[in-house]
Structure 1
């Protein structure tokens, strides 16, 4: 007696998607993870078979260049995320007060995030150019600055320039998500706070902000993954310079893999960066869960 097993139509429908994901995502992940335990160099294809265990990772943890790039990446992520959150919150609060033309304003707010990071990098690179950049031109013509400021040559100023480019490109993510939170917020708690004699700041601090915290942490999670792997803008504007002072972990990884041909070493560095991104994601997810529980308890 034979039993016929029919393939589910849903499985057959999803099978092409599974195959594509396997080929495009899973295979490169497994390959890169394997090569992180080898001495694989692009100039020596046979070295892919030379398994060296955890030597790449040990070498990374002993590298001052790697630690500097890692700490710089964390600092860049922290500064950019917090400033994007503050600017996005301010924009959302202002737009929420608009009664006419709000749809058009929301569309305009989203314009910067529609630009490619490569295009934004070139745009800000020319804006901050010390000879022909519009920033120095305005400072000299309007504010009377006598000398050109080397925005992309000085280490600290280059870091600030990169942060400004990243903030301009992606503040809209916070603004749109927080505006959605403000539009979904019930007005009864705000009106009750005003009846109880709360000032506008007190109503915002104790009523509006706690309601927005889940939206803030959702935006933080999304943007932490983007900023944590920042590459395009840094590569175009400074290429990690001057003297490596804006080198982030992904630009350092790309340099090790494609310029120095040490692909095994670069993949090991990339997986440490992935663990860093996962750590930030888990942190913000825990904060999101706590914020939701706080709102549930307040509603109860």
Structure 2
């Protein structure tokens, strides 16, 4: 039997077995359980088929859709801010005449921190009693009382956005900087000879070239934000009154606090669909940007 199997297949077989055991089987089990009323406290419910009951419940659940919309809002705001700040950092580092390597290294520091550590760091900074943000604002005379950053719902979401942007702007900065370093200088010099201003050169020459790199960063970050959990869990745990509850914090609460694993898995697959939609969108934008560069350059 084994003689009929080619050597490359035999060599790859252990890797396929490990992937099937670690990835494929849990994925299929979670998909199956999303069609059951499975509860952690009642293991026998795993074998009770419920059809699309969990998904129908999700479609009519206001709490889920509130978390869904909140995730979209967080994703939109964070992506745009990270894009703008990352672009600005990349342009500044690219213009530097000395210390580019040091600046690139410093720019990567936020990526080296665990999301859990970032969550604790910003939870302390935005603490209403001993937080650095309130102390700084009061010392500067900008406010005479402590601001409840993590207690007020809107302010808590703002604090989470700040934490996300701080930790991941460097993803955009590094990829866009790679695009700037790879960009040929002849079109830039030709634009200057033709009398283009600095803004026109950036708008019509530099920006179209680096946009494919920005779309790659958007694809990576959209997947990260769509499954955001660690920072939110540490900073607010979805509070106050679920005003910062995102899809994956709701999934975790439903699965482990409420023990409704089947319903939680159904929510997770809806979230995965959201991630796929954003990935397809940004890949299309990436393909369009590459086509534009190929036509113009």
Paired position in structure 2 for 1:91: 89
**Distance in 2 (alpha carbons) for counterparts of 1:144 and 1:37:** 54
**Distance in 2 (alpha carbons) for counterparts of 1:4 and 1:201:** 66
* Structure 1 unpaired stretches of 5+: none
Deviation at 1:13, TM superposition (A): 2.5
Cα RMSD, aligned residues only: 1.1
Deviation at 1:7, TM superposition (A): 3.3
1:80-132 superposed Cα distances (whole Å, 9 cap, x missing partner): 01100000000000000112211111111101011000000000000000001
1:59 to 44, 57, 60: 57
1:287 to 267, 285, 289: 285
Partner of 1:51: helix, strand, or coil? coil
**Distance in 2 (alpha carbons) for counterparts of 1:5 and 1:23:** 25
Deviation at 1:5, TM superposition (A): 4.1
Alignment of 1:32-181 (within 5 A): 32-181=30-179
The 1:206/1:261 distance shift into structure 2, 3 A limit, reads same
Alignment of 1:193-204 (within 5 A): 193-204=191-202
Paired position in structure 2 for 1:237: 235
2:181 to 180, 183, 195: 183
Partner of 2:239: helix, strand, or coil? coil
**Distance in 2 (alpha carbons) for counterparts of 1:177 and 1:277:** 21
Deviation at 1:147, TM superposition (A): 0.5
**TM-score normalised per structure 1:** 0.97
**Distance in 2 (alpha carbons) for counterparts of 1:227 and 1:278:** 13
1:151-179 superposed Cα distances (whole Å, 9 cap, x missing partner): 00001100000000011111110000000
1:212 to 197, 207, 210: 210
**Distance in 2 (alpha carbons) for counterparts of 1:12 and 1:289:** 37
Partner of 1:42: helix, strand, or coil? coil
**Distance in 1 (alpha carbons) for counterparts of 2:2 and 2:199:** 69
**Distance in 2 (alpha carbons) for counterparts of 1:12 and 1:98:** 53
* Structure 2 unpaired stretches of 5+: none
1:183-221 superposed Cα distances (whole Å, 9 cap, x missing partner): 000000000000000000000000000001110110000
**TM-score normalised per structure 2:** 0.98
Deviation at 1:20, TM superposition (A): 1.5
Partner of 1:13: helix, strand, or coil? helix
Deviation at 1:144, TM superposition (A): 4.1
The total of aligned residue pairs comes to 297
**Distance in 2 (alpha carbons) for counterparts of 1:239 and 1:23:** 32
**Distance in 1 (alpha carbons) for counterparts of 2:97 and 2:267:** 50
Deviation at 1:8, TM superposition (A): 2.9
**Distance in 2 (alpha carbons) for counterparts of 1:287 and 1:174:** 16
The 1:196/1:10 distance shift into structure 2, 3 A limit, reads same
Paired position in structure 1 for 2:8: 10
**Distance in 2 (alpha carbons) for counterparts of 1:4 and 1:115:** 47
